[in-house]
Amino acid sequence: MDTIGFSKHDHTVCIEDCVATIEAHCAEAGLQFTPTRRRVLEILLDQHKALGAYDILEVLRSEGLGSQPPVAYRALDFLVANGFAHKIEHLNAFIACCRPGQTHTAAFLICRMCKAVAEAPSTPARIALEGSAEAVGFSIEATVVEATGLCPNCA
Residues at the site binding DNA, with contacts judged by CB under 7 A: 31-32, 34-37, 52-54, 65-71, 73-75, 78, 87, 92-93
Query: Residue 74 binds what, of its own copies, DNA, none (CB under 5 to 8 Å, by partner type)?
Result: DNA
The C-alpha atoms of residue 47 and residue 74 are separated, in whole angstroms, by 20
Question: Does residue 95 sit in helix, strand or coil?
Answer: strand
Distance CA 155, CA 149 (A): 9
Q: Does 149 bind its own copies (CB under 8 A)?
A: yes
Distance CA 36, CA 65 (A): 7
Please state, as a whole number, how many other Cβ atoms lie within 10 Å of the Cβ of residue 17. 15
> Which of its own copies, DNA, none does 13 bind, CB closer than 5 to 8 A by kind?
none
Select the binding partner of residue 21 from DNA, its own copies, none (C-beta < 5 to 8 A, by kind): none
In contact, 100 and 84? CB cutoff 8 Å: yes
Q: Which is nearer to DNA, 14 or 71 (CB)?
A: 71
Does residue number 68 form part of the binding site for its own copies (CB under 8 A)? no
**Separation between Cα atoms, residue 116 and residue 7, nearest integer Å:** 11
**Closest approach of Cβ 122 to DNA, in Å?**
21
Q: Could you tell which of its own copies, DNA, none binds residue 138, using a CB distance below 5 to 8 A set by kind?
A: its own copies
